[in-house]
Amino acid sequence: MARLLMVVLWPSFLVAIVAEGFFFSLFDPHELATSSFHLELSPLATYTIGFFCFWVFCALASMLTYYLVSTPKDREAPF
């Protein structure tokens, strides 16, 4: 289980760092507020929430890739 977590979470963590860097180099956190719903968040809070959103999205993509590549024998619990 720990190996599975590292295979999924570590690459998704690294990709989330790059994705956040690209995203927030194009968009200012103050410009992301919509006209109907506005939260007063500091830029640091916006960066943190954005990073965790990117990390979750990338982790789901990594988990899907792992699931599609692994065979049923790989998914069995070792005894």
Q: How far apart are CA 30 and CA 43, in angstroms?
A: 7
**Domain parsing of the chain, residue ranges:** 11-28+41-71
Provide the pLDDT for residue 13.
94
Per-residue pLDDT 10s for the chain (79 aa) are 788 788 889 999 999 999 999 999 998 877 776 545 566 778 898 899 999 999 999 999 999 988 888 777 765 655 4
Greatest pairwise CA separation for the chain in angstroms: 56
Q: DSSP readout, 20-51?
A: HHHHHHHS-GGGG--SS------HHHHHHHHH
Q: How far is CA 74 from CA 1, 31, 70, 71, in A?
A: 12, 46, 6, 5
